[in-house]
Amino acid sequence: MLDTTLKSGSPTARCRERGGTRINLLIALLILAAMGISAVKIVPVYVNNYQFQDAINTEARFAESVYPKKSAVQIRQDIFSKAQDLDIPADPQDIQLDMSGGNVSISLDYSVPIDLYVYQFTLQFHPHADNHTI
């Protein structure tokens, strides 16, 4: 008698399973590409926010202690120029600056639209700094 069942190790059985590996590889590469594109679009926005937060912390900390003291207009202009350097969408009037009683408080609310080709969303940022001691 002739055995017609396919054994898992036979050449005919392996030929039928060949395409599954290619599809899995393609799906994995598509997922990795999507993650890479997302990272390229999102990570720089967070890095710019971190650098801007550091800049306004420094500005708030040393605004009252440098000689000669900076005026509110000078501080606002310095912060605005840093925002422009970092491609942060802000106008000088958006920068909230409070200089009262030796305390300096700086804040700015802004949003950055992210376009991932198939999905669009907006990241909201609220950097704030002051020179209050702990």
pLDDT tens digits, residue range 88-101?
A: 999 889 999 998 87
Instruction: Answer yes or no: is 105 within a domain.
Output: yes
Boundaries of domain holding 49:
45-130
12 band by pLDDT with thresholds 50, 70 and 90: low
The yes-or-no verdict on residue 52 having pLDDT over 90 is: yes
Q: Which helix (H) or strand (E) covers residue 107, if one does?
A: strand 103-107
Instruction: Answer yes or no: is 116 within a domain.
Output: yes
- What percentage of residues in the chain have a pLDDT greater than 90? 53
Count of domains for the chain: 1
Instruction: Answer yes or no: is 59 within a domain.
Output: yes
Instruction: Answer yes or no: is 117 within a domain.
Output: yes
Of 80, 75, 82, 77, nearest to 91 by C-alpha is 80
Q: Which residue would you say has higher pLDDT here, 12 or 50? A: 50
Instruction: Answer yes or no: is 15 within a domain.
Output: no
Instruction: Answer yes or no: is 37 within a domain.
Output: no
State CA 16 to chain mean position distance: 45
Instruction: Answer yes or no: is 31 within a domain.
Output: no
Average the pLDDT over each of 3-12, 50-59, 75-84, 121-130 and give the range with the smallest value. 3-12
Instruction: Answer yes or no: is 22 within a domain.
Output: no
